[in-house]
Every structure is written in structure tokens, then in C-alpha cells.
Amino acid sequence: MKNHLRTLRNQQGWSQAHLGEQLDVSRQTIIAIETGKYDPSLPLAFKIAQLFDLPIESIFIPGP
């Protein structure tokens, strides 16, 4: 699954550590999601969408 998390984070001017703190996850987890090496759970995906005030499908794109 691809995502626009890095772009959205950069638009806000946030560091990976800062985003991690807001989502209560480690920086390594943010890195893994941004690079597509890890697909977040539904609750975490909703939390991300809520933080950026966007629908989930505009952040996460289904696919290999």
C-alpha cells in the first residue's frame, strides 16, 4: 500500500519524531509507514487521517 504521509508531513514542516510523538508511535514506525515497508492498522490509519484532517483514502492508496 502506498501513501502520501511524507508529503503531508513535509507540508506541515514536521519532523518524523514530532509526527511520531503526536501519534504516540516511534520514529521508526513513521519511517516504516512512509517508506511503505509497514501498513498501519486501521485505528492508526484513522488517527493519521484525523491528524491531517483528511479522509483515509486520500492518504493511503491501495495496491502492491
Give min distance, CB of 18 to other proteins, in A.
Answer: 11
Q: What long-range pairs does 15-24 form, CB within 8 A, spacing at least 24?
A: 22/51, 23/47, 23/48, 23/51
Task: Note the helical H segments in the chain.
Answer: 5-12, 16-23, 27-34, 42-52
Give min distance, CB of 3 to other proteins, in A.
Answer: 14
29/52 with CB nearer other proteins = 29
Binding site for other proteins (CB under 8 A): 17, 24-29, 31-32, 35, 37-38, 40-41, 44
37/62 with CB nearer other proteins = 37
